[in-house]
Structure 1
Amino acid sequence: MFEEGAAGPLESTTPASTPLAWPSIATGRRPDGHGSYWFRRLERDYSHSVVTSDEIGGPNAWDLVTPATVANVPMTYPAQPIDGNMVTGMMTPSKGPGFTHPPELADAIAERIPEYRIGLDWQRFDGDEREFAREVGDLVDSRERLLEYLLAETTFRLGFVVFTAPDRLQHLVWDEETILDHYRRLDEVLATVRSYVAERDMTLFVVSDHGFGPVSRVVSANRVLERAGLLARRSSGGTRGVLGRLGVDKESVRGWLDRVGIDDATLVESLPQGLVDMVAMQVPGDNAVYDVDYAGSEAFVRGHGSVYVNRSDRFEAGTVDPAAADAVKRRLVELFESLTDPETGERVLEVYDGDDLFPNDPNSPDLVIEGIEGYLVQTALTDEEVLDTEQTAAGHRPEGILFATGPDVAAGTRVDGATVTDVLPTLLHAIGEPIPSTVDGEVLRTVFAEGSDPAERPSRIVEPAATDVDDRRAQVSPSADGDGDADESVEARLRGLGYID
């Protein structure tokens, strides 16, 4: 694809994270346009609710180009009733209701690909890299079989299929030989797709939501705030104090549950979330949700480095008057920008103003912090500000990849300056479809060969037919399994993937 098409780096969102970047690829909008800043939405009482597909501000690519076949795209659960076929991806709690559209597609997958899995539980492998790599390989095999089935059995103008396996692998295994073997396997899958599109004179885009690179140190962002007096831990009095003195904390409880064979999925299936929350509030630990005293904190960090000022007009226990919020924010910028690694004396964080990144959403993070190369931001309340990594071998980098091939694509062309929001408008322009005025990205005209129709034709911008999309989404319930357990099941999956504490 380097030789026969256009290629270049693809700048991710800030932060470079799946729940921001994939919706930006699918909608052409920045996070303040589609509204997703993390896998879970921060509520006024500091709790979280799982972000579902009907909360992502569209329209999506599959709303604009139909019929469409969509598979394994993160943040698409529950499946929307699109014109075409959808198999939801990351954030899907089970292969039950909401897993596919139409619903009978799930039955076909169960019959044709019974081994198909939505994802892997990182914690289950406990450092066994060889076994983990084998499991990731099996995951790719089942994804390939799903892809082949969809290519053979569905008709589409737009095919949108995601392989998340390289992300899972690289987070835990940063070994060149293992990674190259994995990408060779993905190349075999890509060869199948290229043959399919070449026979039909279609255009093929290959993109990633972010890049990857090794990490060796972790920045405990909430500990930084605590040491500066901007965040308080929950009191050690009462039940928490008694349990703490007895050596009962979240880590010991998790270890006990593991020893008796109770994993996260079993826990959330057996106990109502309200009971889990109540127990978690009483058992001391380092969780950024349960172990912070918000009534005594001016700021806190959630998700992938999202920093929030604890404003009284935004949060129910807010301590910062709105008139003082900018002053607190300036103090936070100075604090994070001045943080250094005690082992090297070097800065460890990049700091971004949320008003600059997300100007159109008042509920966006106030700041975003990302680790400088080699450092990873985490939210757990550790004892140290900067410490060595344990399980994680690599983390996200902002530079992803973009490839394109097709009858109108310029061969051997370097594409510079592309961002994840540019993918959708470029795709739409390539096939002669209008571009919604809500799109933030631009058409990457260097992708197209000189003299080709897309290179010569002006872009056509239109107002999106929002009512059509909204009518379809109104048919989708966030708790698509019907028993109120979807959020809890997704919470367990996120823990298994290592995305939450």
Structure 2
Amino acid sequence: MDGSNHSADQAFVLGLDGVPWSLLQGWITEGELPNLTRLIEEGAAGPLESTTPATTALAWPSIATGARPDKHGIYGFRKITPSYTPQMYTSHDRQQPALWDVLSPAVVGNVPMTYPAQPIDGKLVSGMMTPEIDDQFSSPPELGRELLDRVPEYEIGLDWSEYVGREEELLSDLSALVEKRRELLRLLMETEDWRLFFFVFTAPDRLQHLVWDEAVLLEHYRQLDDVVGEVIDYVERLDATLYVVSDHGFGPLSKFVAANRVFETEGLLSRQEGTGTQSLLSRFGVSRDRIISVLSKAGISGESIVNTVPERLLRVVGRQFPGDDVLFDVDYSETEVFTYDHGRLYINDESRFVDGCVAPEDRQAVKAEVKDALEGITDPQTGAAPVTVRDGDDLFPTDPHSPDLIVETAPEYESTGRLSQDPFVSPGEKTASHRSEGIMIAWGPNVKAGGSPIDASVYDIAPTLLHGVGEPVPASTDGRVLTEIFEPASPAAETVPTSVTYEGNETAEVAGEDFEDVEDRLTGLGYLE
């Protein structure tokens, strides 16, 4: 774009979930994606470091707030209570102001972790982790009804794991999903009176978990590139600044690392002794996983089961069937540490958990033992030591209730919380997974053509965007303003002069009953790890 000095006061964030810089770079060089190529040539672009761990649920709130998880309050898709009960994170858990709370009016579409849709000055349609399309799906509620009138078969997302062996069908359904999402984008773009527009496509992540074939992926990215072209036209007409970002990258996956198995071997974790019913069922080869597999082949997904069977019954049944789930199959009274949900490790501190068996004064010693145990395992096939353990006190210093430790794995490995017989297990049909390096592209009136952000992270997006539209940066921000991406003569290239304090999420203590019911059902049979 024209690099002359403008006072651009509108910013558009286009999120592409799971897009890796290395993959995009190759296709740009080959001229496969003309609209993204234009943005990179005329704007500033480079890799974007994700959160630790690099997951959707942590990264999008971090992008939206510019704050670490210990400040914004969301560590994953689910949190664990003192009684070891999982609960879904919702928008009510976010403790820091998001960009749409600071810049108004705002338009927000399909951003993960925004259900239930909280009232904002503008329009909001919630995204990933929305349990159903209801009156809490949008703000105002009539916006959701307008969307359904226009796109009667609108969907929140799809489960890639249900398409194993049906990859062609996944490609077709995913393409249709993108087009439905695009209709939402077009509906929201009918509004031009906004200062912030924040919209996310999660489809790349869904596809890449099951299919890691560049020829196949390129066809999907071409569809996304076409969307980017439509957004460019819209943004250019308004003389706004466009940010294209991904929450994390992606890459091939070879093995799961089962930390809980390591803990069991080291005497740090004990399995629950099977009941008489469990022993009998196990003898006949009956398990939760096998039941879910059989039902899946009959066209009944595990999610369908947990969304229709009463929650109390699910919990009773879940404890009777043998399995390898950390919720049902661990004896917490004899367990010092356990992995829960994407590499989060918890010391079973007696001051934190109802069946805790580690005294608070012994917590640091157990952490050191855990770190030595995990970092000492080696892959018997390669000899590699793929695990690094990060201390939660260092990563999340302001929250005493954060995860105690975080497992980081080398490329092609991923942490799993499942119990298993070996520390290294096959990922099954999951062919690829998250990497830390995503993308950032900035393009607009004050953005320097050919510029590159320096060591950019997801925490830098919010402060950079706010500074670029002439707004002060919240004092709670952990990121920095990427002044190097702006034209030297523009106001946006100046250092950050002020910071402000905003109120947090006033409704953080409240959660909708309907969502609580859904989250209980989703954990019923241990279907979610």
Match of 1:123 among 142, 153, 161: 161
Tell me: CA distance 1:148–1:244, structure 2 relative to 1, closer, same or farther (3 Å). same
- Three-state SS of the structure 1 residue aligned to 2:109 is strand
CA distance in 2, matches of 1:329, 1:284: 30
Tell me: CA distance 1:201–1:259, structure 2 relative to 1, closer, same or farther (3 Å). closer
Query: 1:124: Cα distance to partner?
Result: 2.3
1:362-377 maps to which residues of 2 (within 5 A)? 362-377=400-415
- Three-state SS of the structure 2 residue aligned to 1:14 is coil
CA distance in 1, matches of 2:526, 2:318: 17
Match of 1:244 among 246, 261, 282: 282
CA distance in 1, matches of 2:89, 2:49: 24
1:60-139 maps to which residues of 2 (within 5 A)? 60-139=98-177
Match of 2:511 among 472, 478, 481: 478
Match of 1:337 among 375, 378, 386: 375
CA distance in 2, matches of 1:253, 1:305: 26
CA distance in 2, matches of 1:489, 1:184: 37
Tell me: CA distance 1:168–1:126, structure 2 relative to 1, closer, same or farther (3 Å). same
User: Contact (CA 8 Å) 2:253, 2:432: kept in 1 or not?
Assistant: yes
Q: Which amino acid aligns with 2:330?
A: V
Q: Which runs of 4+ in 1 moved over 6 A?
A: none
Tell me: CA distance 1:415–1:153, structure 2 relative to 1, closer, same or farther (3 Å). closer
Query: 1:477: Cα distance to partner?
Result: 5.2
- Three-state SS of the structure 1 residue aligned to 2:40 is coil
CA distance in 1, matches of 2:134, 2:104: 25
Match of 2:339 in 1: 301
Tell me: CA distance 1:219–1:488, structure 2 relative to 1, closer, same or farther (3 Å). same
CA distance in 1, matches of 2:476, 2:412: 36
Q: Which amino acid aligns with 1:433?
A: E
1:92-491 maps to which residues of 2 (within 5 A)? 92-153=130-191, 155-258=193-296, 261-456=299-494, 458-466=496-504, 469-470=505-506, 473=507, 478-479=511-512, 481=514, 485-488=517-520
Q: Which runs of 5+ in 2 are unaligned?
A: 1-38
Query: 1:265: Cα distance to partner?
Result: 3.8
- Deviations along 1:189-221, one digit per CA (max 9) or x if unpaired, are 011111111111101111111000101111112
User: Percent identical across equivalent pairs?
Assistant: 46
CA distance in 2, matches of 1:251, 1:10: 37
Match of 1:10 among 21, 42, 48: 48
- RMSD, aligned α-carbons: 1.9
CA distance in 2, matches of 1:154, 1:490: 38
Tell me: CA distance 1:73–1:388, structure 2 relative to 1, closer, same or farther (3 Å). same
Query: 1:84: Cα distance to partner?
Result: 0.6
User: Contact (CA 8 Å) 1:19, 1:74: kept in 2 or not?
Assistant: yes
Query: 1:361: Cα distance to partner?
Result: 0.7
TM-score (norm 1): 0.94
Query: 1:370: Cα distance to partner?
Result: 1.9
- Deviations along 1:73-114, one digit per CA (max 9) or x if unpaired, are 000000001111111001000111211111011111111112
- Three-state SS of the structure 1 residue aligned to 2:41 is coil
- Deviations along 1:119-164, one digit per CA (max 9) or x if unpaired, are 1022321222221122111111111111111101463210000000
Tell me: CA distance 1:160–1:494, structure 2 relative to 1, closer, same or farther (3 Å). farther
TM-score (norm 2): 0.89
Q: Which runs of 5+ in 1 are unaligned?
A: none
CA distance in 1, matches of 2:124, 2:372: 46
- Deviations along 1:28-83, one digit per CA (max 9) or x if unpaired, are 10011111111111100111111110111120110000011101100000000111
Query: 1:287: Cα distance to partner?
Result: 1.0
- Three-state SS of the structure 2 residue aligned to 1:186 is helix
